Amino acid sequence: METEQRRGVVSSAPVATASSAVGGAKIPRQQLWVEEPAIRRRMPDPVRGSAVRAVLIMSLTIIQAMVAFLCTLAGSWLAFPMVLSSVGSTVVATWSVLDVWITRQVWNQRNGVVSVPSSSARQLRRERRRARRAARAAQRDDARIRRRGAGSLSRA
């Protein structure tokens, strides 16, 4: 506990106490599960799904390449088909990694960027909002002028 405090790790979980058999003294015990805030935001579901797929495909490709290599060293008849399928798996694994990148880009385009104070997207939205408000105000003013002026024209 003291080393954690020296390192700057402070747990926000309450400390449970248990009484010992001798003298009933309280012994502080830390809880088993401590919730800590996430450092990074969670990936969107479609991006996470494609990332999991890519990791699985890449791991299988690496295993397949290793088997092909060992079959080649052993002089097995299976070496040639394994090398061919490893080449195909490498192409599929490359596409799966590209799929993660493409899915992430599509998700960002559809759902917008995370707005942080230095984001240029926030400034663009402010400018668009100001322009829309100014257009609506001008439209209201034009409508008022037309209504006011319609009944007060001279009939001479």
Q: Which DSSP symbol is given to 140?
A: H
Helix (H) or strand (E) holding 122: helix 120-151
More confident residue, 119 or 108: 108
Instruction: Give the per-residue pLDDT at 87.
Output: 95
Instruction: Give the per-residue pLDDT at 4.
Output: 47
pTM score, whole prediction: 0.51
- CA-CA distance, 55 to 69, in Å (whole number)? 21
Instruction: Give the per-residue pLDDT at 1.
Output: 46
Instruction: Give the per-residue pLDDT at 155.
Output: 56
Choose among 11, 6, 50, 51: nearest CA to 31.
11
Backbone phi, psi, residue 25, to 5°: -75, 145
Instruction: Give the per-residue pLDDT at 18.
Output: 53
